[in-house]
Amino acid sequence: MADTPIITSPYPWHVAFYEDLHRRHAAGRLPHALLLGGPAGTGKLRLATVFAHSLLCQSPADGYPCGRCQGCTLAAAGSHPDRFLLAPEEGSKSIKVGQVRDFVEFCARTPQYGGYRVALVAPADSMNRNAQNALLKTLEEPGAQTLLILVSDQPSRLLPTVRSRCQAVSPGLPDAADSVPWLTELVGEEALARALLAAAGQAPLRARDLEHSAWFAERDKLLRQCLNLVAGRQSASQVARALLEHDSTEILEVLTGWLAAAARQASGGAASPDPRLAEGIAQLAQHCPAPRLLTVHAQCLEARRLLASGANPNAELLLEQILLSLAGVDVAAAGF
């Protein structure tokens, strides 16, 4: 075993949720299959893992794993015989039906340590249709003292038959009161922490990763280019090319955030919490009517869905259409 300390608690913004889960478990009110959903980059897998390990711990304290016993050590090393992780294999994006069959066998065996048996399925939405179907019977009757936790950023992508066999639980987005101090400690400055969180849609782990992202340092420049487009000083294709110097998925996410912030402000809501962007967002809100901002926002969401679907669409074309709509060009009428 390496010297890395065993993680025995969820992120600070999940503590209340975790303790509620523990209380429900202690009172025998938890079903045997949970579907833990919620935004990406918020630490759901850590929450699920710590909770699962608390059930394998030989001396848990108030629902938290001790981090020292044999149960905790084996669980953290991934070698506890009563723990199963169903995740895509290295180099693959999906959980295959063969892996699910191994898991079904695991559930048919008697627990080796005589206590709980736990399984994590993450990301659950990476199971293909066959894999999900193969899991149905086990989801219904996994055997005594067994807990399955399916973790997913997009539970809606799971088959309804899978969803209906689980109890959906979601801690939602973290409160700034918990995420800001956590991130400030990492990045050293509260204003930067708030700006990163705003750019990451309040998802703290994504915010942490953004600090090293090239576009984040250039975000005010990129926003200015969008403003140039709206003012007719730059063409959609010019701005699309500039934006696509960065990762297309990230850029679409950024645009979605800006449009949502501008739409909020155009409808009388609060200004952007990122001081470096507040003026630009306000200008966007001034120059574009709220219905247009909302339409383009929806287009961004659809483009992100297309990119994530693996359909391999042309990102430059998608972005150009989005930017044309932002500039007020009727894309359909223009024959795109």
CB of 103 to Zn ion, least distance (A): 24
Nearer to Zn ion by C-beta: 68 or 101? Answer: 68
Q: Where are the beta strands (DSSP E) in 33-78?
A: 33-37
Coil, helix or strand at residue 238: helix
State the Rg of the chain over Cα: 23
> Which span sits near Zn ion by CB under 5 A: 71-79, 196-204, 239-247, 271-279?
71-79
Q: Which two tokens stand for residue 297?
A: 């926002």
Q: Does 282 bind Zn ion (CB under 5 A)?
A: no
Site for Zn ion in 36-65 (CB under 5 A): 57, 65
Nearer to Zn ion by C-beta: 73 or 94? Answer: 73
- CA-CA distance, 212 to 250, in Å (whole number)? 13
CB of 5 to Zn ion, least distance (A): 13
- CA-CA distance, 180 to 116, in Å (whole number)? 36
CB of 59 to Zn ion, least distance (A): 6
Among 45, 55, 72, 229, binds Zn ion (CB under 5 A): 72
Q: Does 244 bind Zn ion (CB under 5 A)?
A: no
CB of 56 to Zn ion, least distance (A): 8
CB of 18 to Zn ion, least distance (A): 16
- Give the CA distances from residue 40 to residues 219, 225, 323, in Å, rounded to whole numbers and listed in that order: 21, 28, 26
Nearer to Zn ion by C-beta: 72 or 197? Answer: 72
Q: Does 294 bind Zn ion (CB under 5 A)?
A: no
- The residues binding Zn ion (CB under 5 A) are 57, 65-66, 69, 72
